[in-house]
Structure 1
């Protein structure tokens, strides 16, 4: 009897526990405005687009440890996509030496412009072979010689057969091309 009472009490508590309902709601008009929202056990999202193209929304999710994370965002024209949330990464500040190097470089560029204000930078294509010819490539220590197997009669016959099949395929392709042209 005690087991029945205990089982009934547990069942009553389980039935009275709130149940989280999942849903999806979407509405759109002919002007491109819309409202979206959904809710599941582990995530939810709301988003709204106005007639000017601005999209405002937020989403939440539970991580594997059960922690709740929320991100709010706005996407609008030239302002781009901007998100805010406690869990988003933050920008790392630029090191001082990089800031100083950039400033020195820009000052040098401005100085050169002031010395020669009428100079025009001419863009012209670069010939790769000329650039490669000017490269100074350091010598590399010689590698040990690798023995290359000599070509025997079987290998020579296989090469000859392959090349003749390739030539035949090219002739067939050329003939088909002439027919279609």
Structure 2
């Protein structure tokens, strides 16, 4: 929501897509998610920019191995920095910009096969809650946007939103978002 309120033109695109697919008085349903391509792109871009956890669950090297010229000894603890992957300019053009359009081609997903977007991990240690998170995040964001218009607290312009994050086991905004729903 913070990224969409900070980027009103992108919020408008999501609202327009929702209005074109879901009737005004109808609730967003699970079956609608696959038809909401721009919303899906917004969610992927949000996961890229603001993963729920900055590091995946630690792994341990089972044998000595060399990767890209680096020797990783057996039993070394390995941390995957998901946050840094999402901000890597060798992978993403304009990595510090919120650009959902980069996901509209549908080639990259966060379900464990595309390593540039492994918000939920991959392989046998992929987050068991990924499918539920996929469903709930899409339904929640779509419902909030479809049923309300949103405004920031008085005196705050979109470009003034503080997007700094606090790091810990989970990642969250340093300054909580204050937004107010306005029924249309």
Q: TM-score, normalised by structure 1?
A: 0.20
More strand by share: 1
Higher relative contact order (CA 8 A, sep 6+): 2
Q: TM-score, normalised by structure 2?
A: 0.19
- The structure that has the greater radius of gyration is 1
